[in-house]
Chains A and B, each alone.
Chain A
């Protein structure tokens, strides 16, 4: 299986509920394990539950630097963007993952980081990824995904440079469902020329996959944002 190549600043975007945070957290753990110096910032100003901050303990245990608002604002119901994020963009570790919120509303925060991102982009260090799950409303077609892509680019003032197929129905996902997501990402890639960075698959499903069907790496996913009745798995 080929290795994920992403380095520098990686902005994770996508439609609401596409699985950005689970992708971002797993990417951070995976790259950290591969020996990279990884930081992750929670820029999700949209979602009130299931945010990166909930995976903080596990990330820090694995050597990932987590950039979050101060503890006392942990449950704030309003947007907070800490200055440390711009600092991390200007002086990036090997990999800086910015977990943005969903849709154009969530991507708007990136425009507020325009100065820092502009400098990094001039140095060729900024990637912006669109995470796609075809089982989510509004993104089951190429047209639906392209509409979100356009809205995110407008709101963020950045260009999408990579696609991630994060196709799943949680514990009800089949190998076929993963292929379906990959095929959608391929169709978008053919239409736009944007490359597929990787596909995701739950770690338990990987043995059932025909990896030769993918012309890109596979990121194994372990659920890091769990329900209170189920432990992390």
Chain B
């Protein structure tokens, strides 16, 4: 298919269809409402279902229901809406159902504001809901990557039988870029007969499939949690994705940033390079699992004097960066939130001040 010009939100909707997701339930909220608007038009054309829930709480459980039936299903929301869905996300993780959640993050806490933010980093990577669970979290830096991550999210959710999140700041949803939809990213669903409640007459199995997250026997609950942990460990081994930038030479500082913020940092790094000031960057594409090893190794380079986590949040990812660097070099935070995106000039000024 030739290139088209799409908003991140529209492209995420189209990517879900291309990934074989014909079930989309959502509740509108700025800055992600275009996903719902787009899919309200598009899903009927492909015999899919769009249902607007009465709230995000309801939507979370509509997702749980469809996922339990073995259907590819997605919802999209923005920060306060994802908070409301967090209970269902925990239940879905507990019940081991695959589902895709998209958070187009706005400023918080509370109602916050409608402009872009990365303030939901902790919520996405450290829980949000209750209990020992994780989501695989991917963070695109543009519309094309949002498409590819959305298409990969469905098979990954099925591989690990759990919720997968795409986390984009508001700008990723709102900006427009030329985009293509790669056919080779479609994969047919697998293994759902082993667990999904599809009806006994619709699968080649005599085993009853029961979808639940309640395990009253403490020994069974412990082994259930051990199984979940082994899956999160497998994610750490197999699913870490990151982009190194300007990493080959002798750099004085290492930046870690993701999403919109990383594009600003790239401009800043390019500008500093023309002045002979070398700065490298690791851009995490997965926030969980986090590219700990890559950051550790990049920080170890002898020329590197310091590491800085640059975020549109008030010092969240910096904790994971610090954990990855393990004391080799000083780790600090720089950022802004509330909707203002730091400019390339502000990033340059700050990075220069560190060295």
A interface residues with partner B (beta carbon < 8 Å): 16-17, 47-50, 75, 77, 133, 135-138, 140, 168-170, 172, 227-230
Contact = CB atoms under 8 A, between A and B. Distances in A.
Given A49-B31, A140-B4, A228-B342, 9 more contacts: A17-B176, A75-B113, A75-B114, A137-B10, A170-B178, A229-B260, A229-B263, A229-B266, A229-B344
Nearest to B339: A75
A77 B29 CA distance: 10
B32 to A, nearest CB: 10
Contacts of B7: 17
Nearest to B141: A229
A136 B171 contact: no
B264 A17 contact: no
Nearest to B260: A228
Given A136-B4, A228-B341, A49 B170 contact: yes
B207 interface: no
Contact of A48 (B3, B174, B341): B174
Contacts of A77: 30, 114
How big is chain B's contact interface, by range?
Answer: 20 to 34
A106 to B, nearest CB: 12
Chain A binding surface SS class: loop
Contacts of B292: none
A138 B175 CA distance: 18
B123 interface: no
A98 to B, nearest CB: 22
B267 interface: yes
Interface in B3-60: 3-7, 10, 14, 30-31, 34, 37-38, 41
A228 B343 contact: yes
A168 B266 CA distance: 25
B337 to A, nearest CB: 14
A227 B175 contact: yes
6 closest A-B pairs by CB: A49-B174, A228-B341, A229-B263, A169-B178, A135-B5, A229-B267
Contact of B5 (A48, A49, A133, A227): A133
Contacts of A172: 3, 178
A229 B115 CA distance: 16
B263 A227 contact: yes
A75 B115 contact: yes
B239 interface: no
A229 B37 CA distance: 28
A157 B7 CA distance: 28
Contact of B264 (A137, A169, A228): A228
B174 A169 contact: no
B5 to A, nearest CB: 4
B4 A137 contact: yes
B324 to A, nearest CB: 25
